Amino acid sequence: MVGIAVLGAGRIGKIHATNVASNKSARLIAVADPYASAAQSLAGALGADAMTDCEAAIDRNDVQAIVIGTPTHTHISLMLRAVRQGKAVLCEKPIDLDMAKSLEAVEEVERLNGRVMLAFNRRFESTFAAMRAAIDAGEVGEVRQVIITSRDPGLAPEDYIRHSGGIFRDMTIHDLDIGRWLLGEEPVELTAMGSRLVDPALMEKYDDYDTAMVQMKTASGKQCHINNCRNAVYGYDQRIEVFGSKGMLLQDNLRPTTLRRWTQDATDAREPLLNFFLERYQQAYKAELDAFIEALAQNKPLPTTVQDGLKALRLADCAVESVNTGRAIRV
């Protein structure tokens, strides 16, 4: 039985806390959030202690593992505090928006042999996982090209855009991780393109982009393309294609039902997509949490590490540099 404290009682904290509560090898000890009412309401519903001091939650003797779902700028200090006490951590992405700080934190984690899993939830989604398994089983032979389509249903609020670190660090970064993971090799070269097509004024204001493309290549020549947009009217668009020497794997979107409509105007029409990541990756969040706890319970290596976080951030930084310089960047 692993005693767990969840830090952060926002929407992502809620998901993690609920999943902890339903995992049979774990016990939800505490939910901590400076907003007392948020902590109270979430902890109360799940029969855990509510706390307002995240550090105190880390320090508890009955807590062996920490799930960090607090704002990005708090990740490093909470993570390191837990690691220093020998506690395992599942931390939401990214480690930090700043590369130098992230690097320093990773070095500290590794010096201390800390057990920190970065929350790349998509890797645990059933179709993503089936894709990786099919590649491992040799079904497509040698991977040649990975095509990732990833578009949000709607523009995030200005407040989010202001602090997001830009499209490459807040949105593309998930796809860069999936790209690395499916290529099975590290990208060594990357080019990116950014446009302002959804809300040019807002993007201009924050020196950001709402529409982007990235292409990258590994040392052996495997290629990956990513396309992003902050707004797709038909819903949260998440598709992947893995093309190899023996075949291809395609992943489609999820919809609420399998219904298809036939009318005078159209045939075979399906419903709009599940709206956003909380619905789309609901199963993935649970599988991710279960994998974390299983690794702890069975003393196995964690499925993702802070190095994964660092590498994804490094690729995002290269994308920013590529847009700024108009060059392919050596990673």
CB of 45 to a copy of itself, least distance (A): 9
Name the residue nearer to a copy of itself (CB basis): 17 or 105: 17
CB of 40 to a copy of itself, least distance (A): 17
C-alpha to C-alpha distance for 142 and 325, rounded to whole angstroms: 33
CB atoms within 10 A of CB 84: 13
Name the residue nearer to a copy of itself (CB basis): 75 or 222: 222
Name the residue nearer to a copy of itself (CB basis): 36 or 197: 197
Q: Are 319 and 214 in contact (CB under 8 A)?
A: yes
Name the residue nearer to a copy of itself (CB basis): 298 or 325: 325
C-alpha to C-alpha distance for 32 and 43, rounded to whole angstroms: 8
C-alpha to C-alpha distance for 174 and 194, rounded to whole angstroms: 17
CB of 20 to a copy of itself, least distance (A): 15
For 55, which DSSP code?
H
Taking only Cα atoms into account, the Rg of the chain, rounded to an integer number of angstroms, comes to 20
The closest of 318, 304, 241 to 92, measured between CA atoms, is 304
Name the residue nearer to a copy of itself (CB basis): 104 or 237: 237
CB of 80 to a copy of itself, least distance (A): 37
CB of 308 to a copy of itself, least distance (A): 23
CB of 236 to a copy of itself, least distance (A): 11
- What is the secondary structure of 117-170 as a DSSP string? EE--GGGGSHHHHHHHHHHHTTTT-SEEEEEEEEE-SSPPPHHHHHHS--HIII
What pairs with residue 190 in β-bridges? 216, 329
Structure tokens at 197: 């097509």
